[in-house]
Structure 1
């Protein structure tokens, strides 16, 4: 199976989807314990949630599950959140701090997976960024994520509905961050936070270079906003999703429009 699905659009917005894949090669699946095989930490149905939401958007979606290797982690294994609980490049525990392997993968196995899966995803994403930027003079990466609403191992209490990450403003222009946060604030149905517990993963931090015309922003959605329940079988809720898709579509159309305008934050992109 191809580790990455690429949909090339003609617009300036790229939707990154590193965590909604569920494919695990048999030889890796055999090493998961019963807990790991539940794939609890999947960004369930995120690809479906964003399907057709912005005409002309490009999509780069990982087919493989994050338990194979996490495409949104630093390939060096360095923690994105030093001093806080998190999961690694190849997670050894799930988001409830429960072991997921019969025998933990060793260093050689992690490196094999990095080359086969992580590198493939980021080669596809990097190539798409270059293609989009060569056409429009600018690229906006909107990294699409979701997570269960309550995970004490990772954060206290209940997560806000919408969690915007720009690594404290470093990965995109202030105009883009303000545009997204204001649109969320105007949507009274949802709570939101900017650079709270989730400030953007490795994708956002690695590619977001606003001075070079590449802007990146992460949206982490609490799964209660579009799932019928946050327990197996994690069913999609059409009614919840319809309202959320309206808001996400509004955000993405604004980003698309400001990028196509050719003038972002006073800098002309050619």
Structure 2
């Protein structure tokens, strides 16, 4: 299915890397046989992440992007978010409903465990192998690196209150996934553009921050959900303005990570995803 293509991984030598697990828009042909999937195909869930990807290329920083739509498989959910419930698995690895509450499968035809495992092997593992490989490569070049993960957790579920207040929702696994100065750099850059922010609100413990954040080994992670008025602006796509803002976030993070004292020798066994 996903088998990351070269177009989905952009390599650079900055200590910043952008990951966008929810910018995929493609639904595989076998799912398009279900009529409910047809309007999902091509629907962008994370316009903020798309703006970040554009800014990453402008700024010359690495990026790893999803290909498949996150309703097919959510790359920012742990693969042990199973077994599936045929009736209630609407928030986990392979969703049965869209963010609009639309059922994606006829009753009784929800994905079985072997189908979920096939999606994990074809999509989830290749994405995380590519991300882990890029983190390792950059960590050999820099004594500290920062991974900024864009995602839209609240927008993918019809059963959560969608985040409409703060424009910038940042998560750091309760402060354990990165140096505090990086959070200040991110929020100050957002505030300079008149964007509101909250840290460790609804997204205090998302998967990437928990799995990849090892600040003691020089790997720092911040998760970001662009919401509120900022998401609206991204949906309307005022291209240059948005890319300027996202570029400012990336620049602030790069300055912050370069100011950190050298981390200890990296212990990156936690990056293994097999």
Question: What TM-score do you get using the length of structure 2 for normalisation?
Answer: 0.80
Say whether residues 1:207 and 2:212 are aligned partners.
yes
Q: Which residue of 1 aligns with 2:40?
A: 37
Contact 1:164 1:192 in 2 (8 A): yes
Q: Gaps spanning 5+ residues in structure 1: where?
A: 80-84, 230-234
Query: RMSD of the TM alignment (CA)?
Result: 3.1
Q: Gaps spanning 5+ residues in structure 2: where?
A: 84-88, 266-274
Say whether residues 1:183 and 2:189 are aligned partners.
yes
The equivalent position to 1:127 in structure 2, one of 107, 110, 133, is 133
Going from structure 1 to structure 2, the CA distance change for 1:253 and 1:77 (only over 3 Å counts) comes to same
C-alpha distance in structure 1 between counterparts of 2:174 and 2:35, whole Å: 36
Whose helix proportion is higher, 1 or 2?
A: 2
| Number of equivalenced pairs | 254
Q: Which residue of 2 aligns with 1:145?
A: 151
C-alpha distance in structure 2 between counterparts of 1:108 and 1:29, whole Å: 19
Residue 178 of structure 1 and its aligned partner are, at CA, apart by 2.0
Contact 1:29 1:37 in 2 (8 A): no
Q: Which residue of 2 aligns with 1:76?
A: 80
Going from structure 1 to structure 2, the CA distance change for 1:221 and 1:36 (only over 3 Å counts) comes to same
Going from structure 1 to structure 2, the CA distance change for 1:120 and 1:152 (only over 3 Å counts) comes to closer
Q: Which residue of 2 aligns with 1:3?
A: 3
C-alpha distance in structure 2 between counterparts of 1:75 and 1:242, whole Å: 37
Residue 48 of structure 1 and its aligned partner are, at CA, apart by 4.3
C-alpha distance in structure 2 between counterparts of 1:257 and 1:204, whole Å: 20
Question: What TM-score do you get using the length of structure 1 for normalisation?
Answer: 0.81
Contact 1:155 1:197 in 2 (8 A): no
C-alpha distance in structure 2 between counterparts of 1:93 and 1:202, whole Å: 21
SS at match of 1:37: coil
Q: Which residue of 2 aligns with 1:82?
A: none
Residue 203 of structure 1 and its aligned partner are, at CA, apart by 1.6
Whose strand proportion is higher, 1 or 2?
A: 1
SS at match of 1:216: strand
C-alpha distance in structure 2 between counterparts of 1:203 and 1:41, whole Å: 21
Q: Deviations over 1:104-143 (max 9, x none)?
A: 1011110110011000100000000000001112221011
